[in-house]
């Protein structure tokens, strides 16, 4: 059980990077109100940050699921731990983004 908690703990620590990227994209969106700003550049940077954030989150989830397999859990246990981990990871990701955008808005 300690191995499962260590895997989930390390994956949750990796949650900081994608959340920071999406908060940065939210801050960039405020630049669209500036008449001197280039909307194309801002939207491009926001899109790139968003794509990198979701890509990082997906790769982090893949690494965590691979660690579950490498830990020697059976297929059923790996599926249960993996699916519960993905649900928790997704909920924390959405909650962190929501709180972050509420703070800067």
How many residues in total does the chain contain?
105
Query: Does the pTM exceed 0.75?
Result: no
E-only strand ranges, 4-43: none
Handedness of CA 29, 58, 17, 105 (dihedral sign): positive
Q: Which residues of the chain have pLDDT under 70?
A: 82, 85, 96-97, 100-105
What pLDDT does residue 100 have? 63
């Amino acid at each position: 059980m300690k191995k499962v908690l260590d895997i989930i703990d390390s994956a949750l620590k990796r949650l900081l990077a994608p959340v920071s990227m999406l908060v940065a994209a939210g801050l960039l969106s405020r630049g669209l109100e500036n008449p001197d700003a280039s909307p194309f550049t801002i939207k491009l940077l926001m899109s790139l940050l968003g794509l990198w954030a979701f890509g990082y989150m997906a790769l982090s989830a893949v690494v965590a699921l691979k660690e579950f397999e490498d830990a020697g859990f059976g297929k059923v246990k790996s599926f249960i731990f993996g699916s519960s981990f993905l649900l928790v990871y997704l909920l924390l990701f959405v909650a962190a983004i929501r709180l972050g955008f509420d703070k800067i808005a």
